[in-house]
Amino acid sequence: MTDSLIRGRLLSFKRAPLAMTDTDSYLYEHDGALLVSGGRITATGDYAQVKAQATADVEEIDHRPHLILPGLIDTHVHFPQMQVIASYAGNLLEWLNTYTFPEECRFVESDHATRIATHFYDEFLRHGTTTAVAYCSVHKTSADAFFAEAMKRNMCMVGGKVMMDRNAPQGLLDTAEMGYDETRAVIAEWHGKGRNHVAITPRFAITSTPGQMKAAEALAQEFPDLFIQTHLSENHDEIKYTAELYPEATDYTDIYARYGLLGKKTLLGHAIHLSEREADALSEAGSIAVHCPTSNLFLGSGLFPLKALRRREKPVRVSVATDIGGGSSYSMLKTMDEAYKIQQLLGERLNPLESYYLMTRGNAEALGMEADIGTLDIGSMADLVILDAGSTPAMRLRMETVKTLPEELFLLQTMGDDRAVVETYVAGKAMKTGLGGDEMQTGA
Ligand code: GUN
Ligand code: FE
């Protein structure tokens, strides 16, 4: 494979920006380029300087005047919910019981899971997302389809077979023992293959018996390097029912703590309605509260106090995500647009630099993967997104009055969607080009 030189305007974060004026928090190169060799970035910076390091046979791709960013990262998404998006439900529990659980039952069929997996990755690539952390269904077939398709595309993916043994239709239940055995089987088959990572995935306290929580605890002890993902404190009715099911626990967070499920590799979806005690507990454990703004608005779940959680004396680590299909867009740009509006309603400002940090390096740090993804640093995988802030007539018109980089980023976030994604690279390979229309191709 020949090396490639990818030219454009580079933007990559070094750390979390403290304010709009915090220019030290990022690297911006107006006429920049990346040299890519063997799927990784081997040189980065000013075009002429990077070009001087390239061999004569290098393939040069010119994306000027577009922005080159690290591929976007989605830290909470449900693979079997592609055909649940836009279901008309009043709240979380109604949405789960009426639409979501029946739909997930279909993933017992391996043909169905394989077909949806193709579309799942096509949508990610169309939207500039190169890594995601996903829930599969309870069926091992769904995890097999999810990881097989990730390998075909050489994408870095985290996923888990969901463990759930109560409060759902029969076709969606395992048992404590099955949940344990099948998770072990998924680990044995897929963890570390290609760029795949398996996550231990008890869905949430409502759908796992204490016996199954013990099984999840056993897995966490046997495989301390694996991610753990579950849902926490999303909706008031959910919180009330959870307290009835686990009367001995101090609060919702304490349930997961009691089963040894809190740690630095634990991702807790939503975590909207936390008490101070719970926020302290998450902070001390180093666990991640995953903000899913389009989902929280769509299901009417609540307003996640992102800014407040980050600036606590004991700060809570946060990441951002779509939560498809409770979420209503695959786009991380749209996701941060809604995140911005939620902070507005809370009287807070989420500045655009912070948003782009969160979608890239911030989410990579939440996963402990910032040496590999989420930046344009030398040595990083060449997972990239090329963004065009003038991708629609209205955006082009607005661009005429844009003067600064943060203004351009804010326009992209506020009005941009998949049309703003010019190209998506995975390990240096252009993946968006060639994705078809209705019956999309695999891109492999
Ligand atoms: N809580 C438990 N399962 C789910 C799910 O699939 N989506 C959301 N948004 N919340 C959940
Ligand atoms: Fe979710």
Q: Residue 378 is part of a domain; what is its CATH number?
A: 2.30.40.10
In a domain, 228, yes or no: yes
In three-state secondary structure terms, 29 is: strand
Predicted local distance difference test score (pLDDT) of residue 435: 79
| 348 occurs within a structural domain | no
Task: State the distance from the centre of ligand 1 to the C-alpha of 324, rounded, in angstroms.
Answer: 10
In a shared domain, residues 272 and 318? yes
Residue that wins the pLDDT comparison between 176 and 442: 176
| Ligand 2 centroid – CA 173 distance (Å) | 18
440 in any annotated domain:
no
SS (H, E, C) 44-91: EEEHHHHHHCCCCCCEEEEEEEEEEEECEEEEEEEHHHCCCCCCCCCC
Confidence label for 1 from pLDDT (cuts 50, 70 and 90): low
Distance from Cα 385 to the centre of ligand 2, integer Å: 25
Query: Where residue 35 falls among pLDDT bands split at 50, 70, 90?
Result: very high
Nearest CA to ligand 1 atom 8: 326
pLDDT, tens only, 346-396: 999 999 999 999 999 999 999 999 999 999 999 999 999 999 999 999 999
ipTM above 0.85, yes or no: yes
CA nearest 419: which of 396, 438, 402? 396
Examine residue 258 and state whether it is found in any structural domain, yes or no.
yes
Q: Are residues 178 and 49 in the same domain?
A: no
Q: Judge whether 85 lies within some domain.
A: yes
* Contacts for 401 with CB less than 8 Å, ≥ 6 apart: none
Which structure tokens are listed for 395?
């955006």
pLDDT, one tens digit per residue, over 95-146 is 999 999 999 999 999 999 999 999 999 999 999 999 999 999 999 999 999 9
Whole-angstrom distance, CA of residue 158 vs CA of residue 135: 9
Question: pLDDT by residue (tens digit) across 408-439?
Answer: 999 999 999 999 999 999 999 999 977 754 44
Pocket test for ligand 1, best of 77, 87, 92 (most atoms within 8 A of CB): 92
Q: Whose CA is nearest to atom 7 of ligand 1?
A: 326
Cβ atoms 20, 351 nearer than 8 A: yes
* Same domain membership, residue 79 and residue 48: no
Cα 212 to ligand 1 centroid, rounded to whole Å: 18
> What does the chain come to in residues?
444
State how far the alpha carbon of 61 is from the alpha carbons of 64, 138, 177, 278, 386, in Å.
9, 43, 52, 49, 12
195-211 pLDDT per residue, tens: 999 999 999 999 999 99
Distance in Å, CA 106 to ligand 2 centroid: 18
Going through 303-383 in order, the beta strands assigned E by DSSP cover: 317-320
In a domain, 28, yes or no: yes
Question: Last residue of a domain, which of 330, 365, 391?
Answer: 330
Coil, strand, or helix at residue 360?
Answer: helix
Atom of ligand 1 nearest to the CA of 231: 1
Atom of ligand 1 nearest to the CA of 206: 2
Residue nearest to atom 1 of ligand 1 (CA): 231
Contact 257, 277 (CB under 8 A): no
Arithmetic mean of pLDDT over the chain:
96
Beta-carbon-side half-sphere exposure of residue 339 (alpha carbons within 13 Å): 30
**pLDDT for the residue numbered 439:** 45
**C-alpha of residue 367 to centroid of ligand 1, in Å:** 20
pTM above 0.95, yes or no: yes
* Cα–Cα nearest to 373, from 72, 134, 14: 72
Q: Which residues line ligand 1 (CB under 6 A)?
A: 78, 92, 96, 100, 203-204, 231, 234, 295, 323, 326
- Letter for the amino acid at 353? L
Mutation probe of ligand 1 site: the residue of 74, 78, 165, 233 with most atoms within 8 A of C-beta: 78
Helix runs in 346-432, H state only: 352-357, 363-366, 393-399, 405-415
Q: Which residue has the tokens 């998770």?
A: 183
Which residues, 6 or more positions from 79, have their beta carbon under 8 angstroms from its beta carbon? Answer: 116, 117, 120, 134, 135, 136, 137, 142, 146, 159
The answer to whether residues 271 and 380 belong to one domain is no
Instruction: Report pLDDT for 2.
Output: 77
349/327 Cα distance (integer angstroms): 22
Task: Round to whole Å and give the CA distance between 114 and 82.
Answer: 13
- Domain-embedded: residue 368: no
Q: Do residues 84 and 60 share a domain?
A: no
CATH number, position 162 = 3.20.20.140
Which atom of ligand 1 has the smallest separation from the CA of 78? 6
Token pair 């109560």 in the structure block, residue: 166
Q: Smallest Cα–Cα separation from 83: which of 124, 111, 112?
A: 112
Sign (positive/negative) of CA torsion 98, 101, 107, 113? positive
Task: For 282-334, write each residue's pLDDT tens digit.
Answer: 999 999 999 999 999 999 999 999 999 999 999 999 999 999 999 999 999 99
Query: What is the reported pLDDT for 436?
Result: 56
Residues 288 and 406 in one domain: no
Q: Is position 54 within any domain? A: yes
User: Quick one: 58 and 82 in the same domain?
Assistant: no
Q: What DSSP letter does each residue of 114-128 carry, written as one string?
A: HHHHHHHHHHHHHTT
Ligand nearest to the backbone CA of 81: 1
Q: Nearest ligand to the C-alpha of residue 269?
A: 2
Q: What is the reported pLDDT for 202?
A: 98
Classify residue 158 by its DSSP letter: E
Ligand index nearest the alpha carbon of residue 205: 1
Domain span at 426: 4-70+373-434
**pLDDT digit string (tens) for 93-103?**
999 999 999 99
- Confidence at residue 221, expressed as pLDDT on a 0 to 100 scale: 98
Ion ligand 2: protein residues whose beta carbon lies under 5 Å = 269, 323
**Which of 306, 330, 354 is the endpoint of a domain?**
330
Burial letters 128-151, b for 16+ CB under 10 A, else e: bbbbbbbbbbbbbbbbbbbbbbbe
- For residue 243, is pLDDT > 70? yes
Distance of CA 374 to the CA centre of its chain: 12
For residues 86 and 32, membership in a common domain is answered with no
Give the nearest ligand 1 atom to 327 CA: 9
Q: How far is the CA of 326 from the centre of ligand 1 (A)?
A: 7
160: helix, strand or coil? strand
Q: Which ligand is nearest to the CA of 328?
A: 1
Residue 442, pLDDT above cutoff 50: no
Within this chain, do residues 40 and 151 fall inside the same structural domain, yes or no?
no
Residues 161 and 265 in one domain: yes
Going from the Cα of 124 to the center of ligand 1, the distance in angstroms, rounded, reads 20
Centroid of ligand 1 to alpha carbon of 95 (angstroms): 9
Beta strands 421-426 and 429-430: pairing type?
antiparallel
% residues pLDDT > 90 (the chain) = 97
Tokens representing residue 378 in the block: 């030398």
Domain end among 276, 309, 330: 330
The reply to whether 225 and 312 lie within a common domain is yes
Give the closest ligand to the alpha carbon of residue 100: 1
Say if residue 65 is in the same domain as residue 153.
no
Rounded distance, CA 27 to CA 19, Å?
15
CA nearest ligand 1 atom 9, residue? 326
Structural domains in the chain (count) = 2
